[in-house]
Chains A and B, each alone.
Chain A
Amino acid sequence: MNSKTLFYILKRIVLALVTVWIVITITFFVMRAIPGGPFLGEKAISASAQAALEKKYGLDKPLHEQYFTYLGDVVTKFDFGPSLKQRGRMVIDIIADGMKTSAKLGVISAVAALIVGVVLGAFAALRRNKLVDKVIMVITTAFVSMPSFIIGSLMLALFSVKLGLLPANGTTAAGLILPIITLALYPMSYITRLTRSSMLDVLGQDYIRTAKAKGVSGTKVIFGHALKNSLIPVITYFGPMLAYIVTGSLVVEQIYAVPGIGRAFVSSITNRDYPMIMGTTIVLATLIVIMNLVSDILYKVVDPRINLE
């Protein structure tokens, strides 16, 4: 690793930190812009009760002071304050709770999408323009064009309501099968298309022809030479994939009633549980930013020729 790469990594880390800081700042000020203030809800309350509430949540202090207190609490203690609707619970605890289920869901979906996508993509590339290739491409194109809530709703209608094969409720292990498939279909299709095109690209390279000319067997050419290099573009998709899975889990957990962070987030929006909205946005955004950072750095380290400027 040369100094240029190190400098690049450092720059990316700084940009990531700035991004997280901006997310926190936007979230804070956007929430404070709500008429009536974020902590009061829609109910009319007496002036003294309002004053007491404002004092309790520190809303009587000047705005910049509130901002620095919030920023300090978030950065040093991961403290997003108490939830408004779930009395007596801290936002961070609710997030940690939901994260257990959501992380399981997300990681399994991502791994499944990666494995199936790479295999299908490589397979399609090797059978280029044959029937198998065309079928794979048509199906993946369809999945890429369908919003996740539609895939989810259709699968729910088909597999649980119509056929009764799988439970519609995501609280049990078996109930997680449909959410996982729903969540994995889009990234799987995307990775399939990505792998196929980059595999085709690699198969046309000179070193593949050289390897073949030297008499290396077909399988060894594919697994030893072609596949490794054609996977490089897939690394860049790690960040967007996590972003997709996070937003996808918002609807998927809603559809299948999975008790995860996505459902907590959506219900906090409908309940106007502002500290919860802020906390979840910041945590999820940070996750996505970190994943983007990791995939960018990985990409650079794997292939130092790549100039990302």
Chain B
Amino acid sequence: MAKLLSMHIDVDSFIPATDEEKEYMVRMRPSSTFFKDGVKRLIKNKVALVSFILIVLITIASIVIPYFWPYSYEDMLGVSPGKPVDASYNNLSPFTYSTAEQAKIDAGESVFPHVFGTDSSGRDYFIRVVYGTRISLAVGFFASIIVLIIGLTLGSIAGYFGGKVDMVIMRIVDVIYSLPDMLMVILLAAVMKLVLAPVIEGTVLAKIGSNIISLFIVFGVLYWVSMSRLIRGQILSLREQEYVLASKAAGAKGGWIITKHLLPNCISVVIISTALQIPNAIFTESFLSFLGLGVNAPMPSLGSLTSDALNGLASYPYRMVIPALVISLIVLSLNLFGDGLRDAFDPKLRG
């Protein structure tokens, strides 16, 4: 007590540190962030890593290949203006050539091979598969982004403000959640394309096609619910934390707290469920394409390619097997990668 009150300086506090004490302060290794930790765990997970590499390779291939491939997905090779249709281009087997192309080869010219042959309209099948992959991936990606945006907005509003706002949003969620989703998707997709087609005619959107846009709308309307439930739950638990209280005490407004404190803390959950949403969307698109409600012809998607190939299954089974394998590969690796992400970044599930 006397010491505390005394104005004397305690000389003991100013003795230089001994080597032993200095050693105590040395950082053995740089401190790791949550993100770095997660990436480390992800890389250790062989299955997730291989899946990730596969997805990246497939994505790059589907973007790059159409730029240098000499055929396009919609060109019927046997049809040229002013000439009768050359049917020898149709239904070619892999690495075979039409009569005209064979003549060119015989004359010493080189002709780019039809790696997967051609389809019944004489279109190069390889590029159709590549293009279909691109469409399926793009649809999956953008549909998930739409779900993310709507789910994130409504979920964080419901979670943060609570009370009546929360109740209204959650009742809507309950109802949409209990609707049989696939049937509603089919119903809406079937009708939407008819409603949309005249509206978007002549605009940029027409190029994307009424079917894909209606698919996006349907996704936006139906699939945000599980995302918003998830985010609401996260926010509900996070908003009781002390640092939120501190921020409030310092005078922060709702929007600031949501964007600066709450959302960054549930970002890993958000990324994981978005990643797992992509295969889901690809699945749905291919399913709708299979029923004839997917992309507008002549644009291919993996689902429409598979269903088109069913007609000639006996003679050309590879035309169905190839897109079927590609789609299974994409969905499988996206699922495995999503699982890996969850294991790596969700601390609650870390075993």
Does A246 interact with chain B (Cβ within 8 Å)? yes
Distance A265 CA – B310 CA, assembled complex (angstroms)? 19
A284-B324 Cα distance, complex, nearest whole Å: 28
Across the interface, which residues of B come within 8 angstroms of A162, CB to CB?
317
In this assembly, does A250 line the interface, its C-beta being within 8 Å of a C-beta of chain B?
A: yes
* A227 CB within 8 Å of chain B: no
Contact A156 B179 (CB under 8 A): no
Alpha-carbon separation in the docked complex, A26 to B191 (Å): 12
* Complex-state Cα separation, A292 to B293, whole angstroms: 27
The reply to whether A146 and B188 contact each other, CB–CB distance below 8 Å, is: no
Stretch at the interface among B106-114, B120-128, B236-244, B327-335: B327-335
A285 touches which of B179, B195, B286, B327 (Cβ 8 Å): B179
How far apart sit A277 and B181, CA to CA, in the bound complex (Å)?
15
Stretch at the interface among A12-20, A190-198, A208-216, A228-236: A12-20
Interface residues of A in 254-272 (CB under 8 A from B): 254-255, 266, 269-270
A285 to B331, CA, bound (A): 27
The answer on a CB contact under 8 Å between A149 and B307 is yes
Kindly list the 10 A-B residue pairs having the minimum CB-CB distance in the complex, ordered from nearest: A145-B332, A247-B182, A288-B180, A150-B324, A19-B178, A285-B180, A149-B290, A157-B317, A146-B328, A145-B331
List, in ascending order, chain B residues with CB within 8 A of A147's CB.
283, 286-287, 290, 303, 327-328, 331
* Contact status A270-B292, CB under 8 Å: yes
Q: Which residues of A contact B306 (CB under 8 A)?
A: 149-150, 153
Residues on B with C-beta less than 8 A from A288 are 180, 183
Distance in angstroms between the alpha carbons of A33 and B199 in the assembled complex = 13
Residues 210-245 of chain A: 1 if any B CB is under 8 Å from the residue's CB, otherwise 0? Answer: 000000000000000000000000000000000100
- Cβ distance B196 to chain A, nearest Cβ, rounded Å: 10
24 sampled A-B residue pairs with Cβ under 8 A:
A19-B179, A30-B191, A33-B195, A34-B195, A35-B195, A147-B283, A147-B286, A153-B309, A153-B320, A154-B320, A156-B313, A157-B320, A162-B317, A246-B180, A250-B186, A251-B287, A251-B290, A266-B291, A266-B292, A269-B186, A270-B292, A281-B187, A285-B183, A285-B184
Provide the residues of chain A in CB contact with B327, threshold 8 Å.
147, 150
> Complex formed: what's the CA distance from A161 to B328 in Å?
21
Complex CA distance for A18 and B178, rounded to whole angstroms: 10
Using CB atoms and an 8 Å cutoff, list the residues of chain B in contact with chain A: 174-175, 178-184, 186-188, 190-191, 194-195, 198, 279, 283, 286-287, 290-293, 303, 306-307, 309-310, 313-314, 317, 320-321, 324, 327-328, 331-332, 335-336
Question: Roughly how many angstroms separate A269 CA and B317 CA in the complex, as a whole number?
Answer: 27
Residues of chain A with a CB closer than 8 A to B317's CB: 157, 161-162
Residues of B within 8 A of A200 (CB): none
Which A residues are in CB contact (< 8 Å) with B181? 243
Please tell me if A31 contacts chain B, counting CB pairs below 8 Å: yes
Question: Which residues of the other chain, B, contact A161 by a CB distance below 8 angstroms?
Answer: 313-314, 317
- A30: which B residues are within 8 A, CB to CB? 187-188, 191
**Are A281 and B194 closer than 8 Å at their CB atoms?**
no
Of A22, A141, A266, which is within 8 A of B332 by CB?
A: A141
Q: Take A147-B331, A150-B328 as given contacts and tell me if A157 and B321 are in contact as well, using a CB distance cutoff of 8 Å.
A: yes
A30 to B214, CA, bound (A): 13
Distance in Å: Cβ of A149 to nearest Cβ of chain B: 5
A34 and B328 within 8 A (CB)? no
Q: Which residues of B contact A295 (CB under 8 A)?
A: none
With a cutoff of 8 Å between Cβ atoms, the chain A residues found around residue B287 in the complex are 147, 149, 247, 251
A34, A142, A247, A292: the one contacting B178 at CB < 8 Å is: A292
A149 contacts across to B, CB distance below 8 A? 286-287, 290, 303, 306-307
Please name the residue on chain A nearest to B194 by beta carbon.
A34
Interface flags for A2-39 (1: CB within 8 Å of B; 0: not) read: 00000000000001101100110011001101110000
Q: Are A269 and B291 in contact, CB atoms less than 8 angstroms apart? A: yes
Name the residue of chain A whose CB is nearest to the CB of B291.
A266
Q: How many angstroms between the C-alpha atoms of A27 and B188 in the bound complex?
A: 9
Tell me, in angstroms, the Cα distance from A269 to B182 when the chains sit together: 14
CA distance A263 to B32 in the complex (A): 57
| Residues 142-171 of chain A, each 1 if its beta carbon lies under 8 Å from chain B, else 0 | 101111011001101100011000000000
With contacts A147-B283, A161-B317, A266-B291 taken as known, whether A18 is within 8 angstroms of B175 at the C-beta atoms is yes
A289 contacts across to B, CB distance below 8 A:
178, 180
Contacts of A251 in B (CB 8 A): 287, 290-291
Which A residues are CB-close (under 8 A) to B303? 147, 149
Rounded to whole angstroms, the CA-CA distance of A286 and B198 in the bound complex is: 33
State the CA gap A150–B287 with chains docked (Å): 10
Interface centre among A16, A144, A145, A156 (most CB of B within 10 A): A145
A35: chain B residues at CB < 8 Å are 194-195, 198
Q: Identify A250's interface contact among B291, B331, B336, CB under 8 A.
A: B291
Q: How far is the CB of A74 from chain B (nearest CB, A)?
A: 15
A182 to chain B, nearest CB (A): 13
Residue among B198, B307, B309 facing the most chain A CB atoms (10 A cut-off): B307
- For A284, list chain B residues within 8 Å (CB): 180, 183
Assess the A146–B187 pair: CB atoms within 8 A: no
Collect the chain B residues with CB atoms within 8 Å of residue A247's CB. Answer: 182-183, 287
| Interface contact B310-A255, CB-CB below 8 Å | yes
CA distance A247 to B174 in the complex (A): 21
A120 nearest CB across to chain B (Å): 20
Closest chain B CB from A236 CB (angstroms): 14
In the docked arrangement, what's the CA distance between A34 and B194, Å?
A: 7
